[in-house]
Structure 1
Amino acid sequence: MLSVSKIRRLGGVSVLVLAALAAGSLLNQSIAPAHAMQAISEPNFAAAIPAGAPMSFADLIEHVSPAVVTIQASSTPDEAPAGVDLDNMPPQMREWLERQFGGRAGPQAAQPRQSLGSGFFISADGYLVTNNHVVDGATEITIGTAGGETYPARVIGLDPQTDLALLKVDEEIEFPFVTLEDQPHYRVGDWVVAVGNPFGLGGTATAGIISATGREIGNSNYNDFLQIDAPINRGNSGGPTFSLDGKVVGVNSQIFSPTGGSVGIGFAIPSDVAARVVAALRENGHVSRGWLGVGIQNVTEDIASAMGLEESTGAIISSVVAGGPADQAGFEREDVVLAVNDESVENSRDLTRRIGEFSSGTDVRFRVLRDGRERTLRVELGERPDDSTLNQLPSREQAEASVDIFGMTLSELSDEVRDGRGLAAGTVGLVIESLEPGGEASRKGLSRGDIILEAGGRAVGTTEALRDAINAARAGNRNAILLLVETQAGQRYIALQLGEAE
């Protein structure tokens, strides 16, 4: 049975991450003896490439295929399905369920999840590249070679931001490998060949051209994609895209598809991006990216007009993280970042990528426009937190206007937020701006953006009102206080232990 790991929507068309399928058989192909395996260099394909389109890709595919592998990743869910609570069923219903399910209608054991993708060796000692989404969360990883051998593999490092992963096979043999081109030279219209494991059919090769470069897909801030029309499908994830000289110029990652199958629009991570990320993963196990600590957006024509700017370029600061590098360097809201180390900034995405290319601790100069005058700010960049931590960090403005209670940073409900959430006029409450990881509120399932409407049966429109409700509960010898909370899924009650309050 086929399965898809995740689907995102982009402009009404599905963006399908080329992930997992159920197991498929590997093609039994011969592979050279271990002692004969060596780096796959640039073979001479001149005889097979006459002027114009290639007559055949056979020599190329035969040369590089031994380095391409099938990757099978297994993971176990954190919790088993709840099943049906037979104890609370009427006897007749319980008997019927037991007959239908053979006595197995209760909670079931957690079943392992399987995903299948592609990858390729980049060194003779067993390092190989694939997509992060193929192996993320896996408890067991097995690779299968073109010759039918299987080996266990372990994760060296993952980079969700670019959807790349580096694995290692610890075997005392030499593996055939290919080279990630760190300075690729390609143009729209160049021929490429993709080799991988679509739908579990290992060793499948397809050919096409580079349809476009520099594609911005989804929320990938640190990578533009190659668009290729060589057919790639589910299971091609992590497989290589080759130039005609046998070098890897891309790592297959996503497709556009209204149907779930290939429609001739696939996307590969450029090899120069992959080479930098893989080098960092091999050295450190993770990718360290610089972090400024600001919220930014594009300078649109309307914003440029409102600020008296001649051009709609650069990135405008919409918020500054309290205590972050930008806060310490004196950045302000409405600053427009024009250049980084004297290199012009086109837009917010360009700025994010520029900062991410620096390592943490790097001293960087920013030229900004403030109140019609240009000035230079020097910043020592921090290290970018993971997404979950990043989403919890309050802005300087939020921190100045909020109070920390139960591990929550709270601010008063504004008219804009109340109207946006569809709450009745006159509703008061406190908005959760951030949560301390591991705090009482976080442990009880509260989330950023939830709105506390009542505490101990009292409406709470201010932090003082919340503290009064907490003090009243303590005076009544209560160990916990009951909150009425407006969440994205509706209103619910949550009890917080008073021992955690400040």
Structure 2
Amino acid sequence: MTSKILSQAVAASRAAGLALLLAGATAVIPSYAAPVPGHGPESVADLAQGLLGAVVNISTSQTVKGTEGPGAVPMPQLPEGSPFQDFFDDFFKNRDGDKGGGSQKVQSLGSGFVIDAEKGIIVTNNHVIADADDIEVNFSDGITLKATLVGTDTKTDIAVLKVDPKGHKLTAVKFGDSNKMRIGDWVMAVGNPFGLGGSVTLGIVSARNRDINSGPYDDFIQTDAAINRGNSGGPLFNMEGEVIGINTAIISPSGGSIGIGFSIPSQLAAGVVDQLTQYGETRRGWLGVRIQPVTDDIAESLDMATAKGALVAGIMKGGPVDNGSIQPGDVIIKFDGKDIREMRDLPRIVAESPVGKAVDVLIVRKGKEQTVKVTLGRLEDNDKAAATEEGSGDEGGQNGGENAPIATASVLGMTVGELNDEARTKFGIAPDISGVVVTDVAKDSAAAERGIQPGDVITEIAQESVSTPKDVMDRIGALKEQGRKNALLMLASKTGELRFVTIRMD
């Protein structure tokens, strides 16, 4: 009855609309009327049928050891003949009861897809196979093959596996161009949600260039195609059957799909997969700078018309640009012909560039644009030399980490550097003075207002001694995190006279 009433109401409204149009024949119809939206695909059955064979279910198992010592739960002492004796015996024997620790098998499921049928190369997410002891790949035709790990990349959450395809005919898919995808384009996700086997969902590209703070190269495609647990590592297809994304993450309070899923774009994934397949590891370009966003205030102080690019805050000692080609205070606005719209663009573009390549970098230095040429180093080589890797103020972690030494840095309108023999000679600094030397002071900066000059030496910040440019940056960063508005500096003149100066940090 309700449906009938609703149908009648709809019909009546349509009739009323038609009457209004006829009655208002003399009315002016706006020329900017919105275009009639196009229809979605009538069916993706043929497309799905040709792709399902290339999408696989990945099953992993891992042996997790129990805890021993104070954290272990010992078997309780029960009265002889207790009715609970058998129950506890069974439970604790399964945990290697003598040690109170034991071990158990943990299994997980994910998705993946074949990109090379002859070699048996399969792509998935790193988190799907991380720490796995055994990896099995289940195909849509019921075949199960053991897989070996070719290589992983934790920064992009990509892993490459290999199976022996001998005696089996595999189906492969290829990467498409994610750069061609527009918001509103139809996409199809295929995977194994909750271990149910090949499932197909349809949706659109909801957004692009999403940063979900999962890694230094975040540039996700957002889609409303249903993605659930178990879909991780599965492909996101365009309507030509090309992989334009690897489904990786969802936002969900309940664990199920609410129409907000994220995929690694093929533009980023294809290069990583190619390197993992060839070398078993990634070989990323490295510039060796610490960077920070260009705010409106910073842009104004640097005579820039708009806030864009990545501000160089520090130069890594021994890095590719520790030769003066790029300096603290420079703003990188274009790298190898690609625009740097905001800070996070630079790490990704640099990482995608070949190691050893000489590239043109367009910078803004003291209000003027100029092009410098730099030769890229290798990020992973620098990683191995440093103890850690990530750093929020770094070139996407590309300086080798928070502990990597900094040759020079830009902070509070000052350029600071190591107080070495060269600096002592240049500025005439006495040998008994220690700290960090100020090598340049920006005009109209907070430091300039306080009378700080090149050759001054920063010995303390907020009553803590500093001896390297990194110490200065870390101390200023800590004060900002504490909500401080000013920084108290102890400065030494060239002859050793001390004075305190307070500098604004807002």
Please classify the TM superposition score into its range, dividing by the shorter chain length. 0.5 to 0.7
Contact 1:127–1:167 (8 Å) recurs in 2: yes
Is there any run of 5+ residues in structure 1 with no aligned partner, and where?
1-50, 403-409, 417-425, 435-448, 451-502
**Alignment match, 1:95:** 77
| 1:95 counterpart SS class | coil
Aligned pairs for 1:107-256 within 5 A: 107-125=100-118, 126-172=120-166, 173-182=168-177, 185-256=180-251
Q: Aligned to 1:74, which of 49, 55, 61?
A: 61
Contact 1:181–1:275 (8 Å) recurs in 2: no
Q: Aligned to 1:60, which of 35, 42, 47?
A: 47
| 2:292 counterpart SS class | strand
Q: Which amino acid aligns with 1:109?
A: G
TM-superposed CA distance for 1:263, in Å, is 0.3
Give the % identical residues.
Answer: 40
- Relative distance call for 1:254 and 1:414 in structure 2 (3 A) is farther
Is there any run of 5+ residues in structure 2 with no aligned partner, and where?
1-37, 384-388, 391-399, 410-416, 421-434, 437-457, 472-476, 479-506
Contact 2:252–2:258 (8 Å) recurs in 1: yes
TM-superposed CA distance for 1:330, in Å, is 4.2
TM-score, structure 2 normalization: 0.64
**Alignment match, 2:316:** 321
Aligned pairs for 1:42-61 within 5 A: 52-61=39-48
Q: Deviations over 1:35-81 (max 9, x none)?
A: xxxxxxxxxxxxxxxx823333333222211111110122345x642
Q: Deviations over 1:199-231 (max 9, x none)?
A: 111112211222222323324443522211111
TM-superposed CA distance for 1:247, in Å, is 2.3
| 1:390 counterpart SS class | coil
Structure 2 CA distance for aligned equivalents of residues 382 and 105 of structure 1: 54
Q: CA RMSD in A?
A: 3.6
**Alignment match, 2:499:** none
| 2:58 counterpart SS class | strand
TM-superposed CA distance for 1:430, in Å, is 10
1:339 aligned to 2:324? no
Aligned pairs for 1:410-429 within 5 A: 415=461
- Relative distance call for 1:379 and 1:185 in structure 2 (3 A) is closer
Structure 2 CA distance for aligned equivalents of residues 390 and 382 of structure 1: 15
Q: Which amino acid aligns with 1:53?
A: G
TM-superposed CA distance for 1:288, in Å, is 1.2
- Relative distance call for 1:205 and 1:271 in structure 2 (3 A) is same
TM-superposed CA distance for 1:85, in Å, is 7.2
Contact 1:367–1:375 (8 Å) recurs in 2: yes
**Alignment match, 2:267:** 272
**Alignment match, 2:448:** none
Contact 1:223–1:273 (8 Å) recurs in 2: no
| 1:354 counterpart SS class | helix
Higher-Rg structure is 2
Aligned pairs for 1:20-35 within 5 A: none
**Alignment match, 2:497:** none
Q: Which amino acid aligns with 2:273?
A: V
Aligned pairs for 1:427-442 within 5 A: none
TM-superposed CA distance for 1:278, in Å, is 1.7
TM-superposed CA distance for 1:365, in Å, is 2.5
Q: Which amino acid aligns with 2:124?
A: T
TM-superposed CA distance for 1:329, in Å, is 4.2
TM-superposed CA distance for 1:414, in Å, is 6.0
TM-superposed CA distance for 1:240, in Å, is 1.2
Contact 1:86–1:94 (8 Å) recurs in 2: no
TM-score, structure 1 normalization: 0.64
| 2:277 counterpart SS class | helix
Contact 1:85–1:106 (8 Å) recurs in 2: no
TM-superposed CA distance for 1:101, in Å, is 5.1
Structure 1 CA distance for aligned equivalents of residues 101 and 339 of structure 2: 58
TM-superposed CA distance for 1:129, in Å, is 1.0
Q: Which amino acid aligns with 2:126?
A: N
Q: Which amino acid aligns with 2:60?
A: A
Structure 1 CA distance for aligned equivalents of residues 171 and 292 of structure 2: 46
Contact 1:71–1:117 (8 Å) recurs in 2: yes
TM-superposed CA distance for 1:241, in Å, is 1.6
Structure 1 CA distance for aligned equivalents of residues 194 and 111 of structure 2: 11
Structure 1 CA distance for aligned equivalents of residues 104 and 114 of structure 2: 30
Contact 2:245–2:264 (8 Å) recurs in 1: yes
Q: Deviations over 1:68-104 (max 9, x none)?
A: 1110122345x642354789x9xxx963699795453
| 2:359 counterpart SS class | strand
TM-superposed CA distance for 1:382, in Å, is 0.9
Q: Deviations over 1:282-315 (max 9, x none)?
A: 2222221111111101111011123333221221
- Relative distance call for 1:413 and 1:259 in structure 2 (3 A) is farther
| Number of aligned residues | 365
Contact 2:124–2:160 (8 Å) recurs in 1: yes
- Relative distance call for 1:211 and 1:373 in structure 2 (3 A) is closer
Structure 2 CA distance for aligned equivalents of residues 414 and 96 of structure 1: 65
**Alignment match, 1:400:** 418
| 1:279 counterpart SS class | helix
**Alignment match, 1:18:** none
Contact 1:329–1:377 (8 Å) recurs in 2: no
